[in-house]
Structures are given as C-alpha cells and as structure tokens.
Amino acid sequence: MENIVIVGGGAGGLALATQLGNKFKRSKKTQIILVDKNPSHIWKPLLHEVAAGSIDSAFDELNYRYHGKKKHFNFILGSLETIDREQQILVLAERRDDAGELITPQQHLHYDYAVIAIGGVSNDFGVPGAKEHCYFLDDKDQAERFHQHLLNQTDRLSCESLHSEPNNKSHPVLRIGIVGGGATGVELAAELQHTAQGLSGYQRNVAAKVDYKITLIEAGPRILPALSEKLSKAAQLTLEKIGIDVHCNTGVKSCSSEGFITPDSVIECNIRVWAAGIKAPPQLASITGLECNNRNQLIVKPSLQSSKDKRIFVIGDCASCALPDGGFVPPRAQAAHQMASLVYKNILRSKRNKALKDFRYRDYGSLVSLSNFNTVGGLMSGFVGSEMRIGGPIARLAYLSLYRMHLFAIHGLYNSLLIALAGRIHRAIKPKLKLH
C-alpha cells in the first residue's frame, strides 16, 4: 500500500487531501492520510471574526473525520514530532489529556510522499513580554479564548459601572491594543468596533454601558503595506472615522500587563493582541532536518519539493518559495490553494515518472474587510500587471466570494450552495453577535 501523508489541514492541506481522496477513492494501492493537531478545520481568515464574536466557529468549522469519510481519505489526530527520512517515516507525538493520561502513544507513519502544510504562526520578533501578556490569533482555540476574555472584561466593567457613584455620568472604558497593521490587525480592529456597537444594543441599563477604545499600532510608515498607498490611506481614514486610534511609525519595545511600551510612551490596554508578522512554527526546522530560512520556513524547489528531499513537498505559509523576479510567495490563502493544486499534479506526475512542473504564483489581488464599515483592495494584479482598485459593496462581495471559493474547493458546488443557504438561515434566527 502506497501512502500519501499530508501534515496540516489548513486551506492548502485540506484542499489537497480532498483532491487526492477523490482521485484515489477506488484505488486499493494508494491511501491518503491527513494529519492535524486539531479535530476540525476553520478557514484562517475568519479567525478575527471568531475573536470578535461576529461568527460562531461551531457553525463554520469542518470536522476532519467526517469530511475524510465523504472525500475518501483517512484522518489522524496528532502532531508531527520528527521525520526519519531514511526510513520514510513520520513520527507523531503521543497525545495526553488535561489530566496527563495517555490517549494515544507515539505513532509511526510510513510515507511514499509527504506534504508538509502546517501553516504559520504570529511572529513576536522576540519582543519582551509579548508571549506572556498578549493574545495571538493563530487558531480557533486562541480566537475563542480572546472572545471569552472580551466578554468577561465587558461584564466586569459593566458591573463596576452599575455600582459606581449615582452622579457619575462617565462610562468605564475597555482599552484594546492591537500590534500589527497588516490585514489581520486591521480587520480585527474594525470587527471589534462593530462588536462594541452591537454589545451596547444588548444593554438596556444605560448606567451599565461600557465604552471601547481600540488602538492599532504599526511599526511601519503605513498600515496594509501589501496594498497601494491610496488604498492604505482609505483604510486608515475608515478606521479613524469609526473611532479607532491608528499609530504608525510606532515600534513596541516591550509588553506588560499595563499595555505596550513604545520608545516615546506607554499605550495602556486592558486587552492586548499581537498580530504582527508571520513565521513557520519554531519546531519545524528541528523536527524535519530540512533546509529552512530565518523564519523557520522550509526552503523548496520550484516544483515545491523540499530542497533536501524529493519525497517531501511543502505548501502554504511554512514554505519558502522564491519568485522568478525576486522576493518570495506571500503567506496568503490563495497561495496555499495554488500550491496545493500544483502538488496534486506533481504527485501524479511523479507516480508516472514524468517531469514535475514548476510553481507559478498568480497574484489575484488582496482584499481587506473593515467589517460592515467598508472593504478595500485591489484585484487581478496578476493578470493585467497593475492593481485594479475596488472598494465599498463591490469589494465586500468580492471578499465574501473568496470564502465561497474555498468552500467550493473542499465541498464542491452543490454542497457549497447548501452551506451558503444554511448560513443565511443561521444568521436570520441567531443573534448577530456570539454572546457567550
């Protein structure tokens, strides 16, 4: 039995497992295995909405075991510990419950082809106190913990306000600081402002109202550096118009329980979020013994094979793939999907002893959602050689279509339409915000 093992069920890994499962569903000689440390998948660009409570992750997540049964691949819950490349064995770490009791022992998976697709994590750049005092939004659990903390802090301040002096007309302020002016930080800031407006509607007692003060901190000269300067300015104007403080050219020296320490001041925050930069998980380089860069990404050939091992492919945020004209493929969901499509073809070509194809990244543009307030971005830069700027309702529609394309890649057309219909029904009968 030939094993094709995919480690990581993110946008690229799940799409690849689905394609390969459908391809070999009748084969008795080839087995597709997907490995992930979580039992379910949620599209990573949705995590800021999970954190803000705009969506319920229980509705949007996908169970790997159920999907594997439908799409003809096997799923194993586990984390990659190391790779024995000589024996072609992936070693999965043992799993234990919260009480420390063993669930599954260390497992050994033989592979004929392995695909590493474990994604990326936030890069704290070694800033003192960031890990200890900030929330990160790298997975569903982190986003849900942030959301629960947001609700708890709101309730705490609301209770304090109710028991304050009767003549005190001011409302308590919940200060939220976000480091990182990229797409994640900007989208989270706007979504939290939308959440703040929504939560106030559920509080009938005016005395219990809590005000939110959201601050976005960016070390560079402008937010959203991946977009044009014009779109960046448009996004910043929208943020400032809805009451978000934007600090550019502001580096963070350290973090504490009080807030962010910059070279010039202390930005006080009750809740702190780190959303600056992406790197591959730090253990990736050491557990594989493969060539990596200073961000722990595995270096790949144009065919997306590891530079050290032709039996191992790497896709998504954990891959360092050079572009022909300089630079590297950016860490985006669209890149992960494109990489998955090429690896699918190259695995089939390798099985037939055909020459492998090189990866050609096509930039379809970038879109940034500012919640219900605005959407900005540029489209089709990969086709026409320049950015076609869009905004407003058209940009919002295009942004939503990206998620629909992801659903289509893993569910097919019919099921994607059913999911869209179910989503509309869910929004019609449930609160607009997740209140628990």
Helices 140-162, 183-200: axis angle to 10 degrees equals: 40
Average pLDDT over residues 419-425: 81
The pLDDT score that the predictor gives to residue 433 is: 72
Which of residues 413 and 215 earns the better pLDDT score?
215
CA distance 407 to 358: 26
- Say whether pLDDT at 192 is over 90: yes
Contact 399, 384 (CB under 8 A): no
SS3 216: strand
CA distance 81 to 294: 20
- Say whether pLDDT at 168 is over 70: no
- Say whether pLDDT at 275 is over 80: yes
Which of residues 277 and 240 earns the better pLDDT score?
240
SS3 302: coil
- Say whether pLDDT at 402 is over 90: no
Average pLDDT over residues 326-346: 93
- Rg of the Cα atoms in the chain: 23
The pLDDT score that the predictor gives to residue 105 is: 95
Number of neighbours of residue 248 by Cβ within 10 angstroms: 15
The pLDDT score that the predictor gives to residue 379 is: 67
- Say whether pLDDT at 423 is over 80: no
Average pLDDT over residues 306-310: 94
Q: Which residues 6+ apart lie within 8 Å of 110 measured at CB?
A: 3, 87, 88, 89
The pLDDT score that the predictor gives to residue 396 is: 67
Q: What is the pLDDT of residues 135-165, one digit of tens each?
A: 999 999 999 999 999 999 988 888 876 665 5
Q: What is the pLDDT of residues 96-136, one digit of tens each?
A: 998 999 999 999 999 999 999 999 999 999 999 999 999 99
pLDDT tier for residue 371 given thresholds of 50, 70 and 90: confident
- Say whether pLDDT at 390 is over 90: no
> What are the structural domains, with CATH classification, of the chain?
2-120+280-351 (3.50.50.60), 130-274 (3.50.50.100), 365-429 (no CATH)
- Say whether pLDDT at 383 is over 50: no
Q: What is the pLDDT of residues 241-255, one digit of tens each?
A: 999 999 999 999 999
* Single pTM value for the model: 0.90
- Lowest mean per-residue pLDDT among 22-31, 171-180, 309-318, 383-392: 383-392
Mean model confidence pLDDT for the chain? 88
Beta bridge partners of 340: none
